[in-house]
Amino acid sequence: MTGPRTPVTPGARRANASTAGTPVLLGPVLGLLVHPAFRLLAAGTAAGPVLVLCAVTAPRGR
């Protein structure tokens, strides 16, 4: 089993631990930043056809 595996050294373990620790810190921050954007996108895509239907079916004579 001589595959192209990366050698596991203490430095690599430290790097993996540090990179595994950054999403724990960045997760809530990115979640706060990203989730409202996705909510706005979801609301926009959901409200888009509804607004178009309202505009099409609304009486124009008023």
- Residue 3: the pLDDT is 58
The position carrying tokens 């203490």 is 10
- Residue 42: the pLDDT is 76
Establish if 36 belongs to a structural domain.
Answer: yes
Establish if 47 belongs to a structural domain.
Answer: yes
Q: Region 23-32: what's the mean pLDDT?
A: 65
Establish if 9 belongs to a structural domain.
Answer: no
Establish if 49 belongs to a structural domain.
Answer: yes
Could you give the number of structural domains in the chain?
1
In degrees, rounded to 5, the angle at the alpha carbon of residue 23 between the alpha carbons of residues 20 and 26 is 150
Establish if 19 belongs to a structural domain.
Answer: no
Can you give the pTM of this predicted structure? 0.29
Establish if 42 belongs to a structural domain.
Answer: yes
Establish if 1 belongs to a structural domain.
Answer: no
Task: With a cut of 60, say whether residue 16 has pLDDT above it.
Answer: no
Establish if 5 belongs to a structural domain.
Answer: no
In which domain, by residue range, is 38 found?
27-61
Specify whether the CB–CB gap between 38 and 44 falls below 8 A.
Answer: no
**What are the backbone dihedrals phi and psi of residue 16, each rounded to the nearest 5 degrees, phi first?**
-65, -40
- Residues 29-48 pLDDT 10s: 667 667 777 777 777 787 78
Give the residue ranges of DSSP H helices in 1-62: 10-57
- Residue 50: the pLDDT is 81
